[in-house]
Chain A
């Protein structure tokens, strides 16, 4: 039997962490783009469009990410493709992320006081101009802390993709456990690596939030 040193274990885990990071980035950026579209649909004056966006958000926030991953995996397969795990993983995570970011950002847009809408309307701006020049610049400021905060959920969400066979940190953890029979050490290390990825994001979000609150109070 081969002896695994702690360093062997750690090195294998760290190598797999690259994929966790890459998938997180792709999901976050992709989810942000889709989420922006959904958010604009959600605040649209057109009832049908807004309802569709709401249904999308309800659906993705009201069902487990794991089920969404399975549906992406097996659903894509039905289209006759052999589906690589990364594709299903990326697709499901992007759609899932989009639903949360859309809702977070909608909250930010709606937090802008009604007076701002009215003032800009009274200056003769159309809805698009109001958004572009008055509402969004203000919403952006308050959107940053919760958006950074949600990125933590995305990183943690990538762990589920191991279940459909994408080899990232969690999957590597399982593989290394099976080879070393040291679940305590291995999963402990996996947890610490996730912590090292997520904690700085959590802290940043908290610090930004506090700064924003202070800035608000000084007004």
Chain B
């Protein structure tokens, strides 16, 4: 039984059809990399799975929670799957610890001591327990992104969506974030990530999805996709690198 089920999903912005019927099933514990040209719809797909965009056709479900309009359905969906953004999006007025505590207390009504306990555990997991009281503008980009990961993990999601989470980082900070992701993968977290880090995709992912013009153009194990691309589009994409 797959954790994330994406069936015939179509998404239009005005006349621009960005997703033209996407089918993708993600198993529990699977790590999937999505690659593709700029504008091919990678971010849009992830945002749809998190309910940040509405879809025009098809269906998405995560562990039984359907993507439907309405606050209650969206909440149920988002409790099952977290999202990490390219631009971190930490809350600037809250310390790192508070960032991790907030949604537990607001959404799950977790009492403060337990939320704080969880926050410490999660910050420890990303190696930032000592930054519990630091504010986002006192952290490096890599540290901010790790806090964002801890924040999502504290909600105990079944899976994480990661949209180019290292693209905004200076090169020397990329690895500390990827190390955290690798660790998560090895612990069995389900990950659906858009990435330009081909080495990382090859080493860590179970499957690679190549998106092209709003479709899943090619999909397979990393070795097959990278070493033996079937379509000219993927060949060209890989050759471009």
Whether the complex brings A and B within 8 Å at their CB atoms is answered no
